[in-house]
Structure 1
Amino acid sequence: MTPFTGGRNLMTFSLDDSGAGLRTTQRTTQFVPVASDEVTNMFKLVNFVILCGLLSPFGLISNVINIVVFVKLGFHDSMNISLMGLAVSDLVSLVSMVYISLSYNPLFVNAGLPFDPLGVQYMVGGGIHVCFARITSLITAFITFERCLCIAMPLKVKLIITPTRTKLIIFSIFAVMFVVFSPFYFVNKLTWELDADRNATILTHTFTDDRIIVETITFLIHGVIFSVFCFVLIICCTVILVVKLNSKTKWREATAAKGVNAPEGVGVKDKRVVKMVTFISSIFIVCFFPATVILLALALVPDLGYGAKYENMWFVLWSISCLTETVNSSVNILVYLKMSSKFRAVFMKTFLNREEK
């Protein structure tokens, strides 16, 4: 899509092509090329088409593998249930990212297909991607919080966070986000419209008159409240995990040096899980930092967004955000293989037909 240039009377309220940004304006808008059209199109091509186009298929395969392994491991452990939910969320998010990447490919856009690639992407790619990105955030926040309880109350956490309660929480996260995003598909629709340039009827995106109020509410819920809350909670829990784990390790080493048996606390297995969760959370913090900053900027800076004054800058930032979110959804398998002996053993037996030595 070529960014708008020049000035025009604008009254729009929309999630941008990603489904992530909210903008309501009613004024003559003079578009300011903070980033030139050439630079913006370069970011779209490199980040969306090339990098996301290469990473997304890898992420799809890796998350399918994750799901298979967790199914074989079983769901008697609450952590396996949470990580299974995370893999499902990442998988669907990456499926939508495949189409987002495809929709920015000039060959696909100019192929003369019987639908508007970006219009369909707005509904099929953008909205779904953002919904499942929020689910990923909530599940990651729950996982890090559960591990904090494990450090703080190692003898009680298994009574508080049971497998049954974990299943209920994970299902509730999916259900809540589906409810939050469902109004989006009532006010935005795919309909057949006449394309005057092509003199043909194509499938494209349209919206209803009550779109403004509906998207205002949904954006505030998922884009500001949920996103910022999850990001802050994950940072706090990750810091607590690192500090507590280091302090307990030093204390155990000190007591062992004195020849004193340390009382039972966090076991070796739980320590490994805490370290794995810390890595997953750290990756999330790095990868979702751009998205969190952009969402806050959208709420605070009226002229940043699709169809607004600094539209080009918005596309540059959003392409970076999508790339880092794709990385986050794709690399967890590397953490599992490195830090989970059970995951690694099942993976090798299932996919390589080998026993781990």
Structure 2
Amino acid sequence: MKNETSHNIEWESISKYLSGEMSEEERTAFEKLIDSNSEYAQIVAASEKDLGLVEDVIQIREKYNSDHAWNQVHSRISKPDNKNMSILANQNFKRVLQFAAMIVLVIGLGLVSNKVYKDYLSPYKTFISKAEDSSKTIVLADGSTVTLNGEAKLVYPKKFNSATRNVSLEGEAFFDIAKNPEKAFIITVKGAEIKVLGTSFNVIAQEDKVEVLVESGKVQFSELENNEESVILEKGDFAVLKENSLNKTLMNDDNYLSWKTQKMVFRGMPLKDVAKVIERTYRVKVEFESNDIANEKINTTFIQDPLNVVLTNICMSKSLTYEKKGQTITIKKGI
């Protein structure tokens, strides 16, 4: 796992990276820096986006050719019997057009730099994990850690200065909260709120439901629109908020946290269900050549094994083979 660290912002390096002027070695090192620091990643992403704005401004300036514009005007206002006045107008009007073009460019660059610095100086940070990431860990200002599954979004303050420690989440994440009885930690998700003082738990915030699994400590899980609709969850408790209904139960899925622990346990499980666990753990898509293969059952356990090792072992046990194209895996009968 990679923890967020603090780095000085090197604008020259960001410029070289975005302009493609880095060597392969420099680029690799710089991308490792981006991966290890969400603040850097935000600034690079904002700079890359705003670079498009600069290019648009430049294109407008290039299209607005002052020489060409003057030539058109000159052909209309210059007369043979007023040559000196024509030359003077030429020079003055040309300067006006060039100055106007410069103003447009400066304003464009000002908008870009203003946005970058505004994001940089904001009291909040936003981190969005990549689709292929399954265990990106961020350390918050109070020492709490948040491990995000792929395509999760976390918004959090750079410093917890208020009476409570508030963050918001979209997607899935595992929270390990630093204890502070005087300052509750509150997570806002779609239609729900999770309040803790110090504990560890998993949250999935989807479009139609919110799930919470508590690994240690105690959590208060509430519906935002109805404060009376809440439950207290302790170790092993699992609750789901769906369609304004909040239900508490026990978790009996050994692989619910496999995306974080990289541990998968399969006990007489059909490959079609195994595939769902693999997809969630490694952020891939698994398909089968036939239903017969999908219904094959296996008994095995994997602990922090790379995806290729998992697939190879599963296929060998059933005389199967697999083909990987991008993030899609197809399991087929062996030759």
Tell me the TM-score range normalised by the shorter chain.
Answer: under 0.3
When Rg is computed on C-alpha atoms for both structures, the one with the higher figure is: 2
Structure with the larger helix share = 1
Bigger relative CO (Cα 8 Å, ≥ 6 apart): 1
TM-score where L is the length of structure 1: 0.23
